[in-house]
A and B are shown apart, each in its own frame.
Chain A
Amino acid sequence: MRYELDPVRVRKILGNKKQFIMGDMAIAYGGLLAGVGFFGGYPITPASEVAEGMARMLPRAGGTFIQMEDEIASMAAIIGAAWSGTKTMTATSGPGFSLMMENYGYAIMTETPCVIANVQRTGPSTGQPTQGAQGDMLQTRWGSHGDMMAIALCPSTVQECLDMTIESFNLSEKYRHPVVLLADGEVGHLREKVVIPDVDEMELFERIEATVDKDKFIPYSESQTNPGSKVPDFPTFGSGYRSYVTGLTHNDMGFPATDKQPDHERLINRLVSKITDDREKLTDVEEIELEDAEVVFVTYGASARPAESAVRMARAKGIKAGMLRLKLVWPFPEKAIYDLSKKVNKIIVPEMSLGQMVHPIREFAAKDCEVIVAPKVGGVMHLPVELLEYLEEGA
């Protein structure tokens, strides 16, 4: 196989340790550092720079970049490439993400590790192509038909674009699940300083491949090399396991079992619980001024930036304000939200939409804690003073 990417070569291609780059480029850097061997994508603002970066750097590293004919094909190609044994990635924005939905579900059903960077904008339809927004927070969780779980991370800085892309790969390999990096057009096009990790400064999770005897291998059940794990070992194409991968409901052996209720129930429950069992382990939040806070923001992505400024301004005015930033939005950090809601009077959710994450937050907040959205639509970020008003009202 060609795709033994040399991490030392990759690091050399990226160049200086400290650079001033755009969020999209940091996503491409993160993918390369994680060891991506195949990138398939289709141009779309504000995500095109990820593909452009990959087109320039990936072949130099020994990997393959293809500009596919559309996002459906991009998503399909990265799934196919993953089965040939490499780490794979695509990047897109709202309309493209909508087109990927069917194959996103296919990746979930077939337990295919891969990463989708979604540099979000708004809609419906074409919306505001050149403006950032946070339009796909719920589509990521609920967009595919049927029962599913999502894993998604939200970077608020360019450095996080890089770090969280690496983390996305680690999670996708660990859980054999498509992981979505939910950036927004704001961070995607922001230029900031990043520090690029060296090879020995990164922790990479590598896919657990099937090693048991070929006639004892069970492709869609608990791991046979990692006892207790609900994530089956990966039978890379060409390695002799002769596995059948299908989006149909299948039994443990991978055979279609479309009319077998118990098989479907067992499969779906495992696909979801392999992730939700680790919900609290996966929870990743940043707490700002929460010790004595009474009114707080729960934020994510670019909106965390003006929100943090607003908290500082409120504190200067003596308001007991705080903020919880969700770095991982799916699986939803249910306990962190519940615990927070027991301590504070009011949760305000600044979102670059009319309100998406406010819904799960309200669902898991204790009933006597008020939860409201602070919406901002039209492709601009909240101003700190606007958000300050919410804190003043809530205090």
Chain B
Amino acid sequence: MADMISQAEMREKYLRKGMLPTIFCNGCGHGSSLDYTFRAIEELGLDLDDIVFASGIGCSSRIPGYINADGLHTTHGRSLAFATGVKAANPDLNVVVFSGDGDATGIGGNHFIHAARRNIDMTVIILNNFIYGMTGGQVAPTSPKGTIATTAPYGNLEGAFDISELAKSLGAAYVARWPVFYPQQPIKSIKDAISTRGFSLVELMSPCPTAYGRRNKLGNIKNLWDWYENNSVLAEEYDKIMNYGTDEEKAATINKIKIGVFQHTEKVGFFEAYEEQIKNLMANDDKKWGGV
């Protein structure tokens, strides 16, 4: 642990000069995810020259701008489609996408489900704050029922997306969800996500004091961060309680957000399969023509 890279070293090695401080508000969880990503890259021994970071639009989507690597800050919701092209034209690149809950499951929901369905080899880190942060707190597809938002002033009536559950059902190779305030689990998950072939999702629940916490009376920064802690439960723990717990334990747990690693499989990535198909087609032509 003590040999872990320090923030002072990260400032030199990973941060893009001249871009910090971040635009994130005081108490925003998004910045921590940047720290975890660097630690994951460091522990994997990857070279920033071989990674492309893509994103859409939103506070969360500003992350690639702070990383001293190739970055593609695209249009709202479309980052996964852009990233698919990046990977298609150079499958040797590692592609990591940062997205927000609104970016990935609102305007970009269609791209999200298709990138997962195709099993495009990329890592998607979604910073879920249950709200449209950048535009000032409008309701998101992830906002829990009852959320007060500028566009749901009387309380949100819509059901919320469970992003990890969605990705899991789409057959994503790797799916995990963590709150941002436990460093070790997200770091490990980002490492595993990058190392897993195919489509990987790491959903980080990231407190947004400005646009979500304040309006939903979750108190100051400390209380908001604590709220996440008190309202999440390890998936395994959840199952145990639901199966064997007392009625009181069940009642105290049923509305909590499950966290943990939900899926971890090995599947041939789309571009691996594509490469194989190209090889066969070329070999066929070569046979037909007796060489090019």
- Which residues of A are interface residues toward B (Cβ below 8 A)? 1-3, 6, 8-9, 12-13, 37-38, 40, 59-60, 62, 64, 66, 68-70, 72-74, 76-86, 88, 102-103, 106, 237-238, 240-248, 253, 255-256
Q: Which 4 A-B pairs have the closest CB atoms?
A: A80-B85, A84-B89, A77-B85, A81-B85
Chain A contacts of B16 at CB under 8 A?
242, 244
Q: Is B154 an interface residue (CB 8 A)?
A: no
CB interface residues, B 43-100, toward A, < 8 Å: 48-50, 52, 54, 64-65, 68-75, 78, 81-93
Q: Is B157 an interface residue (CB 8 A)?
A: no
**Given known contacts A60-B282, A245-B71, A77 and B82 CB-to-CB distance under 8 angstroms:** yes
Q: How far is the CA of A13 from the CA of B288 in the complex (A)?
A: 11
**Given known contacts A62-B278, A242-B68, A237 and B85 CB-to-CB distance under 8 angstroms:** no
Let me know if B81 and A244 touch, CB within 8 A. Answer: no
Q: Is B21 an interface residue (CB 8 A)?
A: no
Q: Is B240 an interface residue (CB 8 A)?
A: no
Q: How far is the CB of B275 from chain A (nearest CB, A)?
A: 7
Contact of A237 among B70, B111, B289 (CB under 8 A): B70
Q: Is B151 an interface residue (CB 8 A)?
A: no
Known: A1-B92, A73-B111, A83-B52. 19 other contacts (CB 8 A): A1-B89, A38-B88, A40-B88, A60-B281, A68-B81, A76-B111, A77-B88, A82-B89, A85-B89, A85-B90, A86-B89, A103-B75, A237-B72, A237-B86, A238-B70, A242-B49, A245-B71, A247-B74, A256-B65
Let me know if A80 and B90 touch, CB within 8 A. Answer: no
- Which residues of B are interface residues toward A (Cβ below 8 A)? 16, 18-19, 48-50, 52, 54, 64-65, 68-75, 78, 81-93, 110-111, 114, 118, 271, 274-275, 277-278, 281-282, 285, 289, 292
Chain A contacts of B275 at CB under 8 A?
2
Contact of B49 among A9, A37, A59, A238 (CB under 8 A): A238
Q: How far is the CA of A6 from the CA of B278 in the complex (A)?
A: 13
Q: How far is the CB of A208 from chain B (nearest CB, A)?
A: 18
Question: Nearest residue in A to B90 (C-beta to C-beta)?
Answer: A84
**Given known contacts A245-B73, A247-B73, A69 and B110 CB-to-CB distance under 8 angstroms:** yes
Let me know if A79 and B49 touch, CB within 8 A. Answer: no
Chain A contacts of B68 at CB under 8 A?
242
Let me know if B50 and A6 touch, CB within 8 A. Answer: no
Let me know if B93 and A84 touch, CB within 8 A. Answer: yes
Chain A contacts of B69 at CB under 8 A?
242
Q: How far is the CA of A88 from the CA of B82 in the complex (A)?
A: 12
Chain A contacts of B19 at CB under 8 A?
255
Q: How far is the CA of A241 from the CA of B90 in the complex (A)?
A: 16
Let me know if A64 and B89 touch, CB within 8 A. Answer: yes
Most buried by A among B82, B83, B93, B285: B82
Chain A contacts of B83 at CB under 8 A?
80
Let me know if B110 and A77 touch, CB within 8 A. Answer: no
Question: Nearest residue in A to B65 (C-beta to C-beta)?
Answer: A244
Let me know if B78 and A243 touch, CB within 8 A. Answer: no
Q: How far is the CA of A70 from the CA of B113 in the complex (A)?
A: 13
Chain A contacts of B49 at CB under 8 A?
238, 240, 242
Contact of B92 among A6, A9, A76, A238 (CB under 8 A): A238
Chain A contacts of B54 at CB under 8 A?
80
Provide 13 A-B residue pairs closer than 8 Å at the C-beta atoms, listed in order of the A residue: A1-B92, A2-B90, A38-B89, A59-B281, A62-B282, A64-B274, A76-B81, A76-B85, A85-B89, A237-B52, A238-B50, A238-B70, A244-B65
Chain B contacts of A60 at CB under 8 A?
278, 281-282, 285
Q: How far is the CB of B273 from chain A (nearest CB, A)?
A: 11
Chain B contacts of A77 at CB under 8 A?
81-82, 84-85, 88
Q: How far is the CA of A241 from the CA of B118 in the complex (A)?
A: 30
**Given known contacts A73-B111, A76-B75, A83-B72, A88 and B81 CB-to-CB distance under 8 angstroms:** no
**Given known contacts A242-B69, A244-B71, A73 and B78 CB-to-CB distance under 8 angstroms:** yes
Let me know if B65 and A246 touch, CB within 8 A. Answer: yes
